[in-house]
Amino acid sequence: MTECDNTLVLLLAGGVGSRLNTLVQTRAKPAVPFGGIYRIIDFSISNVMNSGLSQIGVLTQYKPLSLMRHLGGGEAWDFIGRRRGIKILPPRTGSQDSDWYKGTADAVRQNIDFIKAHPSKEIVILSGDHIYRMDLDDMLAFHRRKEADITIAMMVVPKEDIHQFGTGITNEEGRIIEWEEKPEVPRTDLASMGIYVFDTKYLLDLLEEDREEVDFGIHLIPKAIGRDDIFAYPFHDYWRDVGTIQSYWQANMDLLDVKSGISPEKWGIRPNVESSVKGSADRPPARFARGSTVQKSMISAGCVIEGEVYNSVLSPGVRVAKGAIVRDSILFHDVSVGVNAVIDLAILDKRVQVGTKAIVGHGKDTETINKKYPSHLYTGITLIGKEATIPALAQIGRNCIIQPRTRIEDFPTIILPSGETI
């Protein structure tokens, strides 16, 4: 018997993820494609699978259809059978917006009936929007060894990034003695990963104490520290919160760096290749034409490369025409890059069409941040939304946004300066 026996998993997958901009206009953040053949949520679900847990409740909310279609009945991760399964848990939506999940704790509170219907000793709570590998069985063993009420997975992060996280100060035993949520002036570099183990009875009692407390990091954990047994589980492997365009782009680029520590295949991360209308399983092998060049890139099934690809991640079905150049970019399924076009430091969503001799990522001006979304695009990356069409000869600058399904007639001119949005 492993530590994971008699353990229930709740996977929080309902966040809006607004900082990902056009990438989440038509899908939930956990459903955003990653690394060519995966979606972000594949990492959390595969960690559950590889750790031997068997029952998952997935709490959805924002634009859940593509996520639900991707998860299906859990077959891709062997969550099928009488004692294994994935259950989709949407909010108990009524006639008012207030019926939707108000925070992480409120989401769990609204699904107490699911928890009681699946008796467990512990509950593992995960986020569906992180790229990482974790042995949850080991974390459960740590939790039991410490006789903890709550165990929180934590890791050291750079001080300049700590303001994005909940932070904990621990004593020599690993007990968390102080907590600060997203501190402006941090006193520690130990950050919460949003991964928790709760004793089930303890969690149910905590949720019943005050129904106005809706978030774990803001309300419940600070309340429990100093009163109950809360421990930090140390994590030292690769982990990245891909909640911003920059962090999402960087995590994809890490796949191309053997020294980065990320390796989905070695980790046993499993995609659902059957989830789309034309999944990876239906694609022919990638084809590389005579005279094409590919360096330090990830090329998926069904791609046709006639031009040049450098330091880029291409999802299934991408076509790069003769004379075209793709550099430092992420291209989703079935993107078409026209003859002699250039894609430089950009993210192109599904089925984007780039016209002949168009340039996406034009010029060297990476400092003009996006005027409409200055906190989203500020490092030079340009975003092209799903099913947009870029005209022939267009010059799209840096930190630009082209909204989904933008057509040629929507362009007032074929030159879009850096920082602009259509």
Q: pLDDT 10s per residue in the chain (422 long)? A: 455 568 999 999 876 778 899 999 888 899 999 999 999 999 999 999 999 998 999 998 877 788 888 888 888 998 887 778 898 888 765 445 455 677 888 889 889 999 999 989 999 999 888 999 999 999 999 999 999 999 999 999 888 888 888 888 999 999 999 888 888 888 888 999 999 999 999 999 998 887 777 888 888 888 889 889 999 999 999 999 898 999 999 999 999 999 999 999 999 999 998 765 555 667 899 999 999 999 999 999 999 999 999 999 999 999 999 999 999 999 999 999 999 999 999 999 999 999 999 999 999 998 999 999 999 999 999 999 999 999 999 999 999 999 999 999 999 999 999 999 99
pTM for the structure as a whole:
0.92
CB within 8 Å of 408: residues ≥ 6 apart: 355, 389, 391
Nearest to 233 by CA among 127, 143, 122: 143
SS3 239: strand
Query: Which DSSP letter does residue 67 get?
Result: H
Q: Is 22 in contact with 383 (CB distance < 8 Å)?
A: yes
Class of CATH domain 283-416:
mainly beta
Q: Label the pairing between strands 298-299 and 313-314.
A: parallel
Residue 198 pLDDT: 95
Report the CATH fold assignment for 7-267: Spore Coat Polysaccharide Biosynthesis Protein SpsA; Chain A (3.90.550)
Residue 82 pLDDT: 74
Residue 177 CB coordination number (10 Å): 12
Element (H, E) at 250: helix 245-254
CA-based R_g, the chain, Å = 22
Tokens of 233: 């589980």
Q: Give the neighbor-by-neighbor strand order of the sheet with 389-390.
A: 287-288, 304-305, 319-320, 336-337, 353-354, 389-390
- Residue 261: exposure state from Cβ atoms within 10 A (0-12, 13-18, ≥19): middle
Nearest to 39 by CA among 59, 19, 52, 23: 23
Residue spans per domain, the chain: 7-267, 283-416
Report DSSP letters for 327-340, one per residue.
ES-EE-TT-EE-TT
**Rounded Cα gap, residues 104 and 402, in angstroms:** 32
